[in-house]
Amino acid sequence: MSRIGIRLLSTIPTLFGVILVTFLLTRVLPGDPAVFFASNPSMTQADIEAVRTSLGLDRPLIVQFWLYLKALLHGDLGNSLSTGQKVTTEFANRLPASAELTIFAFVIATAVALPLGVIAALRRGSFIDHLSRLIATLGVSMPTFVTGLLLIFFFYFLIGWAPEPIGRLDPFMFEPERVTGLYTVDALLAGDLELFWAALKQMVLPAVTMALFALAPLTRMARASMLETLGSEFIRTARAAGLSRRKIIVTYAFRNAMLPVVTTMGMTFSYMLGANVLVERVFSWPGVGAFAIDSIINLDYAPLQGFMLVMAGIFILVNLTTDILITLIDPRSSL
């Protein structure tokens, strides 16, 4: 059986484990959702029990889990008690915001990290090499919410270059007609360049915040992998054969060095999906991460469980994509 087929089969117990653990974790959260949503002072204990019954919290835990599994098999993630909407509807509205931000941040991180890591390896001990290690250290040591607050302070409050961090678009501008849910893409499809630049400006600071988080592992791995490849025997053979430096670096060294880098890119993108939770809160970004935090605060089980399940599915999809890319780069890695 191919590696992709084995990975697909392995996702079944993985997803079931995520469903089970998430379900149990939401049930051990401190507080009673029935009391929270029946917070009217005039409500009696009987009214609270009625709310608990309507939420299904009066049933045994195993029965609650079984009913949740049955609903999932029908594509039903439940309803959000705080908004009154279906969780699938909320995610459909909010997931494009998180996806647009994460993809843009990942593009920035990759565009900076790969050249920086490769140049640092080629010029070991130079200023670029020291800069790459400094960036890697800062990226690891600084939490994303601290980075975001510092960027807001400098570029919005002190300098005034960045727009107010209040979401995806200035409140005085209208949203583009929804096609993909990505404001920049929908604005381009509508031919509205002013709206495109407005949406892009709102996205720069939160995207840079997430990109700095991703720069550390990508730069470090690109540098280390390139150094290891440059010291390998087949590179020494290529030099002895009289091949040009450019051909050795571009054709042989870079391609072989990309194998561990691509794996790191897949892992980093998955980590960014979790890091965007705090970034969305700091920048008032209306994505699924901010929605998940609100669900924890409101003791709203269904959105939190749905968030964990969706993130697990995306994580698995990213890993499969990474396996395919590695196979394309190195055909010896058979599917």
DSSP per residue over 41-83, as a string?
Answer: TT--HHHHHHHHHHHTTTS-HHHHHHHHHHHHHTT---B-TTT
- Residue 335: pLDDT band with limits 50, 70, 90: very low
Report residue 176 as tokens. 């583009």
117 and 185 housed in the same domain: yes
pLDDT of residue 201: 93
- Residue 28: pLDDT band with limits 50, 70, 90: confident
- Mean per-residue pLDDT of the chain: 83
- Classify residue 48: in a domain, yes or no: yes
- Classify residue 244: in a domain, yes or no: yes
Distances from the Cα of 189 to the Cαs of 173, 176, 178, 198, 328, in angstroms? 17, 9, 10, 15, 32
Q: Identify the domain boundary among 21, 44, 73.
A: 73
34 and 147 housed in the same domain: no
pLDDT of residue 153: 93
pLDDT of residue 101: 93
pLDDT of residue 195: 92
- Residue 188: pLDDT band with limits 50, 70, 90: very high
101 and 54 housed in the same domain: no
C-alpha 246/C-alpha 263 separation (Å) is 25
User: Percent of the chain scored above 90 by pLDDT?
Assistant: 17
- Classify residue 211: in a domain, yes or no: yes
- Asked which of 43-47, 130-134, 185-189, 230-234 is least confident by mean pLDDT, the reply is 43-47
- Asked which of 11-15, 96-100, 206-210, 302-306 is least confident by mean pLDDT, the reply is 11-15
Q: Are the CB atoms for 222 and 121 separated by under 8 Å? A: yes
Sort residue 125 into left (φ over 0), alpha (ψ -120 to 50) or beta: left
Indicate whether 165 pLDDT > 80. yes
- Classify residue 81: in a domain, yes or no: no
152 and 7 housed in the same domain: no
Residue 39 three-state SS: coil
62 and 199 housed in the same domain: no
pLDDT of residue 83: 81
Indicate whether 159 pLDDT > 70. yes
- Classify residue 135: in a domain, yes or no: yes
Of these ranges, 86-90, 103-107, 251-255, 315-319, the one predicted with the greatest mean pLDDT is: 103-107
- Asked which of 6-15, 118-127, 325-334 is least confident by mean pLDDT, the reply is 325-334
38 and 93 housed in the same domain: no
**Residue 224 belongs to domain spanning:** 89-329
36 and 65 housed in the same domain: yes
pLDDT of residue 37: 63
- Residue 202: pLDDT band with limits 50, 70, 90: very high
125 and 232 housed in the same domain: yes
64 and 181 housed in the same domain: no
Specify the higher pLDDT residue, 335 or 85. 85
Q: What is the mean pLDDT of residues 258-279?
A: 83
- 79 φ, ψ (degrees, to nearest 5): -115, 145
Indicate whether 229 pLDDT > 90. no
